[in-house]
Chain A
Amino acid sequence: MTDPRHAPPFEMTGALVRRDGREVLGGIDLRVDAGDVLAVLGPNGSGKSTLVKALLGLVPLAAGRTEIYGEPPARFRGWQRIGYVPQRLPAGGGVPATVREVVASGRVARRSRWLPALLGDRAAERDAVDRALKAVDLADRARDSAHLLSGGEQRRVLIARALAGEPDVFVMDEPTAGVDTRNQAALASALHELTRGGRTVVLVAHELGPMEPLLTRTIELGQGRVVRETRAGDAHETPATGRPA
Chain B
Amino acid sequence: MSEMLQYPFMRVGLVMAVLIGLAAPAVGTFLVQRRLSLLGDGIGHIALTGIGLGLLTSTSPVLGALVVSVLGAAAIEILRARSRSGADVALALLFYGGLAGGVILTSAGGGSGTALHAYLFGSITSVTVTDLYLVAGLAAAVLAIVAVFGREMFLLCQDEELARASGLPVRFLSVLIAATAAVTVVISMRAIGLLLVSALMIVPVAAAQQLARGFRGTMLVAMAAGVLSAVSGLAGSFQYDLPPGPSIVLLALALFAVAVAGGSAMRRRRARAVPAGATAPAAAGQGADTRVDAEAEVLGG
Residues on A lying within 8 angstroms of B by beta carbon are: 53, 56-58, 76-80, 82, 84, 86, 89-98, 100-102, 105-106, 108-109, 111, 113-114, 143-145, 147-150, 165, 171
| A105→B158 contact, CB < 8 A | yes
Chain B residues within 8 Å of A111, by CB: 151
* Most B Cβ at <10 Å: residue of A78, A93, A102, A171: A93
Count A-B pairs with CB separation below 8 Å. 114
B166 close to A90 (CB less than 8 A):
no
CA distance A82 to B148 in the complex (A): 24
* CB-based contact B215/A97 at 8 Å: yes
Contact present for B287 and A150 (CB under 8 Å): yes
Is the CB of B9 closer than 8 A to any CB of chain A? no
Cβ B287 vs Cβ A148 within 8 A: yes
Interface residues of B (CB under 8 A from A): 29, 31-37, 148-149, 151-152, 154-155, 157-159, 161-162, 164-168, 205, 209, 212-218, 283, 286-287, 290-291, 294, 297-298, 301
For this complex, 13 residue pairs linking A to B, each with C-beta atoms less than 8 Å apart, are: A58-B164, A82-B165, A84-B166, A93-B34, A95-B215, A97-B214, A97-B215, A98-B214, A100-B214, A108-B168, A111-B151, A113-B149, A145-B213
User: Is the Cβ of A79 less than 8 Å from the Cβ of B165?
Assistant: yes
Q: Which residues of the other chain, B, contact A114 by a CB distance below 8 angstroms?
A: 148
Kindly report which residue of chain B lies nearest to residue A109, judged by CB atoms: B166
Q: Which of B151, B164, B209 is the one whose CB lies under 8 Å from A96?
A: B209
Q: In the complex, which of the residues B149, B164, B287 contacts A149, with contact meaning CB atoms closer than 8 Å? A: B287
Q: How far is the CA of A113 from the CA of B36 in the complex (A)?
A: 25
CB-CB under 8 A from A108, the residues of chain B are 151-152, 155, 166, 168
Query: How far apart sit A92 and B205, CA to CA, in the bound complex (Å)?
Result: 14
B167 and A105 contacting across the interface, CB-CB below 8 Å: no
B199: min CB distance to chain A, Å:
16
User: Taking the nearest CB of chain B, how far is it from the CB of A101, in angstroms?
Assistant: 5
User: Judging by beta carbons under 8 Å apart, are B167 and A80 in contact?
Assistant: yes
- Inter-subunit contact A93/B33 (CB<8 Å): yes
CA distance A150 to B285 in the complex (A): 10
**Residues of A contacting B166 in the complex (Cβ-Cβ under 8 angstroms):** 79, 82, 84, 106, 108-109, 165
Q: Contacts A93-B34, A147-B294 hold; do A101 and B165 have CB atoms under 8 A apart?
A: no
